[in-house]
Chain A
């Protein structure tokens, strides 16, 4: 099954193919580019820590950090590690695990056919032994310690733990030294068989490559996977945040802060993803660089050039986060809350809305100009059930009324938490 998706705004297109193995392919050849960027991803991340398949009698709770651990381990097979295999093709390879997905990637400017073979092969051939699991516990143990010393990571994960009572987004992606010590080969295989079913995965490629090369490799390497039903434990997450304020002491010069607003999650990931586009524009309307609030905070020395906003959305959560450095994070939080309340009662200035929307449009067009971001967008939109170009259409068509409606659900000032990392 093959379908072409087009964007009249950009004059560009990509192809979606449901392969006979069960895998979805999203392929976007881009003219004039020297490199190709491939992502082989599964709809499986750190939040999937309690699950069962349609055939399992009971839910299985797995150690925290296992999705990330599995990502590390897949690089190893009986024939050696994938890095060594890629070494012969000249591709740059890597992988990452987020809250809701795990992706294996390579970027190359030659030998694409050999590299895609390696990618499809090693991700579909797990190989875990007690010795290799133990070796990885040492390496990931050091990775965990590295993040323990990283104030940017701490301020973020502490915020999520403060905002959520039960949703597993509150848990560190890498887990802890103790949790990863509980991981063994059997449990890795169990997770693998559930989430690395090809029907739960996507292969997204952008840049310089031929579609036929990919199809030929898929036909040759992939074995058909039986359809699978994956059930994730549903948690009853209260609307309120768990703690209003959390603080940790680490050696930093100026306190780091993040202010999070817990949004109303819609029942579908699709609505959450499109809502995220609106949230990003709203964040600029509230405290973007051109706002009066930003100017006041800056002029009073409450924020500096590190101040940024970020919106996140997934299957069952949406949140927005402002962060930066400040000597008085509590005051920054009070002022942002006051501005949201003002916008709620007085409405959004149409001029501010128009220029913020225009800026968002420029930003989104830019995303379609880089191979890695096109491939990344194809993955996240696939898992959310959104057509990729509809993000740009959403930015272009969003109205002031929609923004004002969204403000109430996404920026409820009673559901706000502050995370601070400071010295001393």
Chain B
């Protein structure tokens, strides 16, 4: 399969894209609204998909909506808020069984598409155009809980804190659900305004992946969007500084038994596709595989941690390295991570290491096409990057990366921020 994406505009700033393959047993349809991240608006935006998930005019009652999903063979209706670079993605999606498995000949694909269109475009608003007050109250609490529950996942929390310290004041540092103070202010009116604003200005990406025919879904959305008045904006890639302005260091304490070290790096000037692929392969060779420099040295040779990984974010061009280590070993781990970076910069890696890294990356890209969520995520990312590269084409580009490309990419990498989340000092002293 080549997995080509068909894409066409069905309205003003509204695109319908589809990728199909008969092997899948389900179809997934998602509607994503893309908005610039802003500190003041993030929470109001974030509550919207969750309010939409509660019901629509056609199915105003939450329980009857869920019963309807059961009847559609357990179709899964989801609300999601995510972040891509400096943008906030508000998404509602539905995943349902393909028609060929329907026991009573139902057209599950069409019914799912209709239901999703109603959820996104015909919510259960009162005569003043507001969401039900009770729902707003519950979902506001949910947004606040989601923000505060970030501390439950220490690794994710530390990564997010590092990003905030590193990019303070920039949209990429804004948290996807906003902040406690902005979430507290969510009201029926502010949520309704966020919803209307989203409908009016956000570019809309509708994506169909699965084994069924996307045509009916496309026509349903074309028709349902026809009545909306829009003046959509564009989304351009975010531009951040390419080199550090000086080393930032921050240590915070929490009640925990293992410290979390996160190092944030800038990656220099990346202007061509070739440089971008060089940076991706560099990050994998440095710390993205179980035979990478970081895994083999920080974990296996020095036995300092269970995980030590590097991740390059194409959207922001930032590189992070994170590891869970004992507080006493923090400096040792940090020194080793920088020593391994210097080694790659000096070209101290074998041709075999490079070939193996590329082989694994290629394999991962191909394997991803075997899952609906993998394929859907792939193409949504393509759209957000303003391109339409198939997984096969991506694999070819990875293949072309040379030793020099990797060394060049590593040369641009410079440490910007060191963030460390540690246990309370008195606790550690008592151990």
For residue A330, CB closer than 8 A to chain B, the reply is: no
Q: List residues of chain B with CB within 8 A of the CB of A256.
A: 152
- Contact, CB under 8 Å: B370 / A301: no
**Contacts of A345-387 to chain B: CB distance below 8 A:** 355-356, 358-363, 365-366, 368-371
Task: Evaluate contact between B142 and A305: CB separation under 8 angstroms.
Answer: yes
> Across the interface, which residues of A come within 8 angstroms of B72, CB to CB?
362
Partner of A110, one of B21, B356, B363: B363
A58 contacts B by Cβ under 8 Å: no
**Bound complex: CA A81 to CA B301 (Å):** 12
Shortest Cβ distance from A233 into chain B, in angstroms?
31
> How far, in angstroms, from A262 to B97 measured CA to CA in the complex?
33
CA distance A361 to B25 in the complex (A): 12
Q: When the two chains form their complex, are residues A93 and B97 in contact, meaning their CB atoms are under 8 A apart?
A: no
B 348-368 to A, binary, CB cutoff 8 A, 1 in contact else 0: 000010001001101110110
Instruction: Please tell me if B111 contacts chain A, counting CB pairs below 8 Å.
Output: no
- A84 lies within 8 A of B258 (CB): no
Cβ distance B157 to chain A, nearest Cβ, rounded Å: 10
Count the A residues whose beta carbon is within 8 Å of the partner chain — how many? 67
Q: Knowing A87-B289, A291-B63, say if A250 contacts B255 (CB, 8 Å).
A: yes
In whole angstroms, what is the CA distance A140 to B300 when docked? 11
**Which of B143-151, B185-193, B220-228, B273-281 is the contact stretch?**
B143-151
Q: Is A216 an interface position by the 8 A CB rule?
A: no
**Is B283 an interface residue, CB under 8 A from the partner?**
no
Q: Report the Cα distance A88→B147, complex, angstroms.
A: 42
Question: Beyond A83-B290, A148-B258, is A139–B26 a contact (Cβ under 8 Å)?
Answer: no
Q: How far is the CA of A139 from the CA of B298 in the complex (A)?
A: 10
Contact B258 A370 (CB under 8 A): no
Cβ of B230 within 8 Å of any chain A Cβ, yes or no, is no
> Complex formed: what's the CA distance from A356 to B299 in Å?
47
B324 contacts partner chain A, Cβ-Cβ < 8 Å:
yes
The chain A residue sitting closest to B64, CB to CB, is A290
Among candidates B151, B290, B324, residue contacting A145 with C-beta atoms closer than 8 Å: B324
Bound-state CA distance A295–B73 (Å) is 20
B162 interface residue (CB < 8 Å to A): no
A289 at interface, CB cutoff 8 A: yes
Interface residues in A258-316 (C-beta closer than 8 Å to B): 288-292, 294-295, 298-299, 301, 304-305
Max chain B Cβ within 10 angstroms of own Cβ: one of A81, A253, A301, A362: A362
The answer for the CA separation of A149 and B306 in the assembled complex, in Å, is 14
Contact residues in B for A295 (Cβ distance below 8 Å): 62-63
Do B305 and A35 touch (CB < 8 A)?
no
The answer to whether B22 and A32 have CB atoms under 8 Å apart is yes
Complex: A109 Cα to B359 Cα, angstroms: 10
> Which chain B positions have C-beta within 8 A of A90?
356, 359-360, 362-363
Report B344 CB to chain A, min CB distance, Å: 16
Find residues 120-155 in chain A having any chain B CB closer than 8 Å to their own CB: 135, 138-140, 142-143, 145-146, 148-152
Most-contacted residue by chain A among B148, B150, B152, B364 (CB, 10 A): B152
Chain A residues whose CB sits within 8 angstroms of the CB of B293 once the complex forms: none
Return the chain B residue nearest A142 by Cβ: B306
Q: Is the CB of A358 within 8 A of B134?
A: no
Tally B residues with Cβ within 8 Å of A. 68
Q: Are A92 and B26 in contact (CB under 8 A)?
A: no
- The residue on B at minimum CB distance from A140 is B306
B63 touches which of A91, A138, A290, A363 (Cβ 8 Å): A290
A207 within 8 A of B: yes
On chain B, the residues within 8 Å of A152 by CB distance are 152
| A88 / chain B contacts, CB cutoff of 8 Å | 352, 356, 359
Tell me whether B360 and A362 are in contact (CB under 8 A).
no
What residues on A are CB-neighbors of B229 within 8 Å?
none
Which residues of chain B are within 8 angstroms of A92 by Cβ–Cβ distance?
Answer: 360, 363-364, 367
Nearest chain B residue, comparing its CB with the CB of A254 = B145
Q: Which of A81, A148, A305, A362 contacts B97 (CB 8 A)?
A: A362
Q: Is the CB of B152 within 8 A of A151?
A: yes
**Given A90-B362, A149-B154, A149-B258, CB of A84 within 8 Å of CB of B73:** no
Q: Select from chain A the residue with minimum beta-carbon distance to B97.
A: A362
Judging by beta carbons under 8 Å apart, are A109 and B367 in contact? Answer: yes
Q: Which residue of A lies closest to B148 (CB)?
A: A253
How long is the Cα–Cα vector from A139 to B307 in the complex, in angstroms? 9
By a CB distance below 8 angstroms, the chain B residues around A91 are: 360, 363
Interface residues in chain B, defined as those with a beta carbon under 8 Å from any beta carbon in chain A: 1, 21-26, 50, 62-63, 66-67, 69-75, 96-97, 101, 103, 134, 137-138, 141-142, 145, 147-154, 254-258, 289-291, 295, 299-300, 303-307, 324-326, 352, 356, 359-360, 362-364, 366-367, 369-371
- Can you show 24 pairs from A to B with CB atoms below 8 A apart? A33-B370, A34-B1, A87-B289, A87-B360, A88-B359, A91-B360, A93-B290, A107-B363, A109-B363, A135-B303, A139-B306, A149-B258, A252-B149, A325-B145, A355-B71, A358-B70, A358-B74, A359-B74, A360-B74, A362-B72, A365-B25, A365-B101, A368-B25, A371-B370
A-B complex: 7 closest residue pairs judged by Cβ atoms: A362-B73, A359-B74, A253-B148, A32-B23, A90-B359, A138-B303, A109-B366
Given contacts A90-B356, A256-B152, A288-B70, 8 further A-B contacts (CB under 8 A): A83-B290, A108-B363, A139-B300, A142-B305, A142-B326, A299-B138, A362-B101, A369-B24
